[in-house]
Amino acid sequence: METILLNTENHVAIITINREKALNALSTQVLTELNQTLDEINANKDVYCIIITGAGAKSFVAGADIAEMKDKSVEEAATYGQFGNEVFRKIETFRCPVIAAVNGFALGGGCELAMSCDIRLAAENAVFGQPEVGLGITPGFGGTQRLARLVGAGVAKEMIFGARNIKADRAYAIGLVNAVYPAEELMGAAMKMANGIAKNAPIAVANAKRAINDGLQSDIDSGIAIEVKEFADCFRTEDQTYGMTCFLEKAKEKTFSNK
């Protein structure tokens, strides 16, 4: 693939958006190759966690490709928006956790890509924003929906209506990112977190992700019912018996089998 790099280390897949000259802007080619890469990773049951980052030191993703969008018709814009949303929803509902390692600009579609991930870690030089109204459009890959859910409607509206970018420290203060690191420490921190997740029972982690995500879209009683089902389903797995046996036998090391 031209625009996506994929490296797998142990149980962690690292996806790099690789279009550095255009600050990793999301052309249709990037979105298509990202979509294919996610399908490829999904077929590899040994991957327990994903990290998404951008090539180079300056940008995570500087948005959807403005040059490609400029002359789109209404119908073409709808198709493009639909496709971007499908790819990002695939990330949000992916069977294992996805960490965004935000190494610079995360604007428009870049902020939306980061928000479709489960956890966002940022470098000190990261900049977040939804500058679309300054281009005469609205956010189109989930920004109007996920930003308000993550940081609350008031701050989301302030950022979106004002096309106001924010730096990493402000993103941390409003809960948009989990942690901020010096740029040179970002990937190490993301790998450490991913490896920590990958050490746990993969099916239990997947069930917990589904319970949190589906529960957030439900009333509390439906959410509790979702949790009870995901919790009980773990008792079908070998990893549940193994994990509890390890605890009771005071085992120092454990390796889950993903079964």
Enumerate binding residues for ligand CAA (CB under 6 A): 22-23, 25, 62-67, 84, 105, 107-109, 112, 131-132, 135, 139-141, 143
Q: How far is the CB of 117 from ligand CAA (least distance, A)?
A: 16
| Contact of 86 with 171, CB cutoff 8 Å | no
Q: How far is the CB of 222 from ligand CAA (least distance, A)?
A: 31
DSSP string, 190-259: HHHHHHHHHTS-HHHHHHHHHHHHHHHTS-HHHHHHHHHHHHHHHTTSHHHHHHHHHHHTT-S-------
The catalytic residue among 9, 40, 132, 249 is 132
Nearer to ligand CAA, 13 or 102 (CB): 102
Separation in Å, CA 212 to CA 21, 129, 142, 208, 227 = 37, 25, 19, 6, 8
Distance CA 171, CA 230 (A): 32
132 catalytic? Reply is yes
Nearer to ligand CAA, 17 or 194 (CB): 17
Q: How far is the CB of 26 from ligand CAA (least distance, A)?
A: 7
Nearer to ligand CAA, 57 or 216 (CB): 57
112 catalytic? Reply is yes
Catalytic residues, which ones? Answer: 112, 132
